[in-house]
Each structure stands twice: as structure tokens, then as C-alpha cells.
Chains A and B, each alone.
Chain A
Amino acid sequence: MKNIMCRIMEWAIAITATLSLSFAVNAATPKNTFIMAKDISDIITLDPAEVFEFTGGEMIANIYDRLMMYEPEDLTTLVGGVAESWETSSDGKSVTFTIRSGMTFHSGNPVRAEDVVFSLRRVVKLNKTPSFIITQFGWNADNIDQLVVLDGDKAKITITEEFSPALVLNALSAGIASIVDKKEVMAHEVDGDMGYGWLKSNSAGSGAFSLQAWKANELVSLKANPSYRHGAPGVERVIVRHVAEPSAQRLLVEKGDIDLARNLTPDQVDGLTGNSDLKVQSDPKGALMYMAANAADPILGNSKVALALRYLVDYEGMVNSFLKGQYNIHQAAWPSGLWGAYNKTPFSLDVGKAKELLAEAGYANGFEISIDTLNASPFPEVAQSIQATLAQAGIKASITTAEGKTLWPMYRARKHQLILARWSPDYTDPHSNLDAFARNPDNRIEAKLTGVLAWRNAWQKDEMNAMVDAARNEGDLDTREQLYHEIQASLQLDSPYVVMFQQTEASVLRKEVKDYVSGSLFDLIFYRNINK
């Protein structure tokens, strides 16, 4: 009996070992395919009229050419995408775009001015979340057919609000200005949805890649467009593989089963630094981490308390420890590295100064307060550090962490005291951030300007509203930049925001991978030059 049992066990172990050995694998990605591992669970749509998520934005940046765009060869200069040239009217209210000749969509259809007009009208008529980027020009479903029109073989747009032409062109470099193939999209229209149901998981662009497959929480597969206007991409296929667990990403890149790992922790990046098969690429991003104080709170509404909070953050300590390689100190509301950035960092941990300010505000013995933040690293760690430094000034902070879907409703309802959050620009004009941080035209609770940070924090200053409007409308670039510097300097000293850090993304690549370009915005990441 024992012999039989022992023999069964031996066989089982032997079979398992043999199976394992016989299925041993030699890892290496095909030379014509670029594979990256990333947490792609945030993708909920790939329709450019609706995409407002990081990974989705990155995908459509590689599938669609936009009316205006930044190219991977020069991420700082705004150039024409589908537009070959453009002409602004003398009053700055109209722009006429000449479309590049000879461009084709992935379907083979030519790219025409009619497609440009259709694409912009479609965004406004569908009225999805990111449409505000262009509806702020005064466009709506009722007037868009008159304001975005065909002008011979050109596309002409007219705005009804006062806006700097530079801002208009910058906004037209956002994802919503992706030009879709009208014929292809309308061929899939159902019940007047302008192809919305179909385009969520298909593509109809003219970019460097076409969408081969999107399997939610599994992968996105892109196929090179050999007739792209800049020439065929360096690889024939790009696969973005969903790997949520950073440790698994690390193993995959070490073994050569992927070419790029996107979500490694700072410790893991450090651990791979000496690996001769790999290289680390650090790219500054536009995402800012900030702490906001609800001005409706009787204590936090005191400007001296808000100022004291700025001196109760250990900026240096955090970036030199658990945020190392992941965030840098940045204390203005528009990120460094972009036009209009304000790089002064006047604050450091100074408990003495903070205590003085708190005493002047009448809180020499501190107070009790709550900090709400996301439950994903590094937010809880940053909250704990702030909790410790607040305690040095007698402020007792309690921390609550939650998923975004739980945290944001509270923020949008002004139910927080202190909140630790992040913000990324939607396009590369300072107006994108400063309109949200500084401008609050109606502070009443019933106004429900829930998308505006200043409103969420119950903070309103008429002079700041006027400054943001003036900068938005200013035509002269130098004057405009100066205005944005002044707004940021003012926000730094007197506002509910303690802007602390700017993100840096550390990616780990196989050493043979070249020309992966990752710009400051989430949708300025380009695959077309990648080769290996």
C-alpha cells in the first residue's frame, strides 16, 4: 500500500518537473514588435471625442493625427498636424486651416477639410467630458455648424469668446482635435450616434498606427501605418500589455519578455540600475501633486493658516527618500518644462515660521484636521509625512484614504478639509491649469462648478479671475507669459493650494530599444520612432 502511494507521488512530481522543463522558454520579443507592460485598466474608451484617461490619451496620440500637434522630434514647438498651414483673421476670432495634401486615413480615404470640420463638430455634438476644451470658445451644439465650416478646400473656425490665438491653437492640439475619417465613422453610425458606439473600440485615424485590438484589462495592439506622412514607423507592431503588478513587470523586463516596463516602483528602478541589459529613462511629466485646503472651513479659510501649511511640508525629505526618482519639488500651479512655467520654490520645512503664522492667526496651540487622499502609493506615504510635520506645529491630522471614485465625489461636493491630490494639464497652454486653479466666477454652492478646483475649495478672488481672463485674451506672447508668472506667484503665496511636487516617470527599457519619446503630457508619448 505504502509503495503504491509513494509511487503515485513520485510520478506526480516527475510529471510536473518534466512538463516544466519541456516547456522551458527562451524569452525575447520579436524585432519588429515593441511590447510594453503597463497598467491599462484606466482605458474606458478609444473614441477621441471622449478619451480623457491617461492610457487612452496615449493610445489615440499614436493612432490619430491632430489638427495641430507636437511631434516627437521637438516636443516644445507647436506645429501643424493635419493642418499644413493656418491663417488667423485680424480680429483673432477666426482661423482658416489649409489641409496637407496627399494624406490618407488608415482606410485609404483621403484626409480632407471636410473630415476636420466633421471631427470638431462631432466632439461638440457628442458633448463628452473633454469637449469643454473647445466648447470654451463659445461653441455648442446649436451654433457649431455655423462656427466650424468648410471654406472651399479649407476648414475655418470662428470663436465667439475672447481668446488668445495661441491658446486656441494649443487647445486644438489636444486629443479632442484628433481628425477622424468621416466616411469610415459614418459607415458605422447607429441611431444617429455619429459612430460613437463603434469608435469606442475601433479606430479611424491617419496616425502612425492603427488599432488592431483593444481587449480591456488584457492588451492594446497597434499596427504600423506604412504610408504614414513621416514614413513607416520603426516597428511593425506595438503591444501594450496589461500588467497591473509592478513586480511582474520587473521580472518581464529583466527576462526580455517585454521591451519596456512603465509602472515600476522607485525601489525596483534602483534595483535594475546596474543591469547591463536594461536602461532607465526618466521623463519629467506635467502631473502635479498638491494639497488643497477647503476655504469654507472656518480654520483653513484663514489665509495665515493656509500660508503656514506651506511651511509644514518636508519637501526635501520626501523627494530624497520615498519619492526619489518619482517626483521633484515644484511649487507653482503650471508644471516646469512647459511654456509659461514659474520655477520659484520659496517654501521649505520651517516649523518655527509656521508656528509664528499660526499664532498670528489665533491658533498657537494648533487644531485638529482631516486629510483625505487616494489609497494608491505614494499618496498615503506623503500624507503620513505631512501628518508628522503638521504635528510639530501642534496640528493633529487624521488621514483617510480612498479609491478615486469615492474620494472625488467628496471633493466635488466640498466636503473635505485638507485633500491631497494630483492634477495634469489637458493641453500645453498654462490656461489649462490656471483656469482650474485660479478662476472661480461663481462661488455659490448652487453654482456647482464641480470641474473647477477653485470652486471645489470654495475660494474666489475677483482680481484673480480678472488676471486669468486677461492672460487668456492677451495676444502678445511675452506679455501673456508675464501674466501667467504673476498669477502663479500670487497663487503660491495666497491660495488654498500647497503645490508640492511634479512627477517624473522612470521607465525601464531593454538596452536595444531606441527613441522611445515620452513628453510632459500624458498624450505626448510617441511610438513611431522606436526601433531596436
Chain B
Amino acid sequence: MHLKETIAARIYASLSSQLRVLSSIALTLLLTFIGLTSVTFTIGRIMPADPVLAVIGDRAPQAAYDRVYKEMGLDQPIYEQYYRYLGELSRGDLGTSIMTSQPVLEDIKRFFPATLELSTIATLIGILLGVPMGVLAAVNQGRLIDHFVRIFGLIGYSVPVFWLGMVGLLVFYGKLDWVAGPGRIDVYYDGIVETVTGFILIDAAIAGEWDIFHNAVSHLILPSLLLGSFALAYIARMTRSFMLDQLNQEYILTARVKGASETSVIWRHAFRNVLVQLITIIGLTYASLLEGSVLTETVFSWPGIGQYITTSLFNADMNAVLGGTVVVGICFVGINMLSDLLYKTVDPRARS
């Protein structure tokens, strides 16, 4: 009886703990969502750009202007407009984009996978090259390899992406012919592969269209390397800094005194302790690439969410801006939560 009660108490404690976590996640999501939409909505309504002119053009007579102004609900108080928007949003309706004449949700389904595909590959490049480079630099502090990584990090972080993208295109596409040019795929392949996931590489592979897969990779290499180089520069710099911090700790000295091999000291002792910080850095890098690759998308004519939001903003297409912002916001929250989960995997202290 006593055992049963103990088990029940433990299950109850575990469930209530999980419920607390879930409530906390739901609350975070709700607050983020309300904060994002209310601020974006208000900015969209008070900025001087006129969304009515985006629909009717600048030459339209006043009668047409007044009609569309009313149709768009702009004659209502801003809080009523916002309340109505939230109501539509709760039904999964993000509204219709002025620019594309399509439901914003459909636009996001089309543009977001392009950004996700590019950013994911860029982040992987950043991790796979940046982490070893950072460790290497820390281990060889003050030596040539360390200077190289630091200079590379500085250049990667300070050279304008626009310039680097154009130079990259000029050299590797224009002169050397190593990669394909701007765009996600050669246009004459457009529409051949059925959209399943929105990721062109996966969809082409599913369809068995290897020519298209090949073509998509050749388009993806340069922009993902470019974005990856920024991720790489940041990750390498931070890894170096975290590792240096750890390598100067007393427990490292103890490990060495105890006769642990250098590989073991670096990877099993020092590196394991920088993992938590690295996860934060990688999460932030990934999230920033998801929403901040506008210039790369512009240079490479990449039909992604960054370009979609920016173009929409210039055209006062507020449904599209709000929809895009909500998606990016959810991504940020999602990546943060994923980072939290990973902390618990790599750091036993976080589990308690």
C-alpha cells in the first residue's frame, strides 16, 4: 500500500511538473505572440505608407480610395482592427497578401521552406567548420592557426554580405563557372517537380528527378557557403573564446596531471563544458539566419521569407508582414525551446 502511494505520488509529481513546463511553454508562446502581433500591427497602422494605394495605385480617384479604405476596415478604430485580426488568426486565417493576391499562409508555405533550406545548410556549414576551427584556434592560442581563425572571423563578420555575395557570384559563377547563378533552380525546371515538402532538394529526390536535384544543389552552394561563412565566423570566434576560458580552469590542469591524453582533455573535459554555451550561440545564429538573410536572398534572387517580408513592408502589405513576423517569431521561440531541451541533455544540472 505504502509503495503504491509512493509510486502514485511520484507519477503525480512528474505529471504536475510536466504540466507546469507545458503551461510555461504555452504562456511563453501566448505572450510572444501577443507582443509580436500587437507591436507589428500598431507599427503597420501608424507608419506613413498607405496600404490602400498598394491596392489601387496612386492615380485612383478618391471614390475608389474611399471604397477600398472601407473594405480594408481601415475606417475602424485600431483596437477593433487588431481584435478582428486576432479573431481571423485564431481560425488560421492570416489574411490575403496585396502583393501576391494569395492567402498569406500559402505564401509562407512557398517562401519559408526556401529560407529554411538555405539557413539549415548554412548553419550546418557553420557548425561543421566553425566548431573545429574555434577549438583548433584555442588549442593553438597565439600561433599562426589562431591568427588565421581570428582574422577569418573578423573578415567573415565585418565584410558586407551584399558585396561578398556579388563578388562570389562574379568569381564562382561568372568567371570560373563552378556553380549556378542566382535563383533557387533554373527557371525552365520550374513546375516539373511536385511540391511535397517545399524543400527543393527533398522534393526532387522524392520525385527521382536527379537532374533537378543536381541543378538545385549547384544553385544552393554559393548562397549557403556565403551565409555559412557568417555563421562559421561567429561560431568559430565564440568557440575559441569559450574553449580558452575552459582550458585555463584548474580541472583541466588536474586532468593533465592525472595523465589524461590531450585529445581527452580537449574533447571530454573542456569541450563538453562549452557545449551549453555553444548551443545558445548556434540557436541564435540559426534563428538570425532564418529571418535575417534578406540581403543574401536579394543578391541571389532567392525567393525566401526575408525578401517576402521586406518587399511586403515597402509595399505596405501589412497582412504579409504580420504573417511573416508571426512565423519568424514562432521559429525564435521554437529554437529557444529546442536549445532548452538540449541543455538538459548535455548538462545534468539543468535537468533538476
Contact = CB atoms under 8 A, between A and B. Distances in A.
A251 B181 contact: yes
Nearest to B191: A213
B275 interface: no
Given A245-B301, A450-B62, A408 B181 contact: no
B48 to A, nearest CB: 5
A341 to B, nearest CB: 21
B59 A242 contact: no
B129 to A, nearest CB: 5
Contacts of A8: 132
A129 B179 contact: no
Interface string B164-196: 001001101110011111110011101100000
B178 A221 contact: no
Interface in A1-44: 1-2, 4-6, 8-9, 12, 16, 19-21, 23-27, 29-30, 33, 35, 41, 44
Nearest to B52: A409
Interface stretch (A271-279, A398-406, A459-467): A398-406
B134 to A, nearest CB: 10
A45 B101 contact: yes
**Of B99, B169, B187, B221, most A-chain CB atoms within 10 Å:** B187
A23 B101 contact: no
A20 to B, nearest CB: 4
A348 interface: no
A39 B205 CA distance: 31
A1 B266 contact: yes
Contacts of B316: 405
Nearest to A426: B59
Contacts of A25: 177, 179-180, 215, 218
Interface residues of A, number: 69
Interface string B186-219: 1110110000000000000000000000110110
A241 B184 CA distance: 11
Interface string A225-261: 0000000000001010111110110011011010000
Given A218-B303, A251-B182, A129 B56 contact: yes
A402 B214 CA distance: 42
A255 B50 contact: no
B190 A221 contact: yes
Contact of B299 (A53, A242, A248): A248
B212 to A, nearest CB: 12
B140 A2 contact: yes
B49 A23 contact: no
B328 interface: no
B187 A35 contact: yes
A216 B99 contact: yes
Interface in B41-86: 48-51, 53-62, 64-65, 67
Nearest to B178: A20
B38 to A, nearest CB: 22
A275 B319 CA distance: 45
Interface in B6-63: 48-51, 53-62
B186 A257 contact: yes
Interface in B297-311: 298-301, 303, 307-308, 311
Dominant secondary structure of chain A at its interface with chain B: mixed
Interface in A199-218: 200-201, 212-213, 215-218
Q: How large is the interface on B (under 10, 10 to 19, 20 to 34, 35 or more residues)?
A: 35 or more
A248 B181 contact: yes
A216 B188 contact: no
A448 interface: yes
Contacts of A450: 60-62, 65
Contact of B107 (A216, A241, A448, A451): A216
Contact of B98 (A44, A212, A244, A404): A44
B315 interface: yes
Given A2-B136, A406-B50, A451-B59, A33 B188 contact: yes
Contacts of B98: 44
A247 B166 contact: yes
A9 B221 contact: no
A86 interface: no
A4 B214 CA distance: 31
A449 interface: yes
User: Which 8 A-B pairs give the minimum distances between C-beta atoms?
Assistant: A216-B100, A23-B218, A408-B58, A448-B62, A405-B49, A5-B136, A20-B178, A409-B50
Given A215-B110, A243-B182, 18 more contacts: A1-B262, A24-B177, A25-B179, A25-B180, A45-B101, A213-B190, A242-B301, A245-B299, A248-B182, A248-B301, A251-B174, A252-B182, A403-B314, A405-B50, A405-B54, A406-B50, A449-B61, A450-B62
10 contacts: A2-B140, A4-B263, A5-B136, A23-B217, A29-B188, A128-B56, A216-B97, A216-B102, A242-B303, A451-B61
Interface of A: 1-2, 4-6, 8-9, 12, 16, 19-21, 23-27, 29-30, 33, 35, 41, 44-45, 52-53, 127-129, 132, 200-201, 212-213, 215-219, 221, 237, 239, 241-245, 247-248, 251-252, 254-255, 257, 402-406, 408-412, 436, 448-451
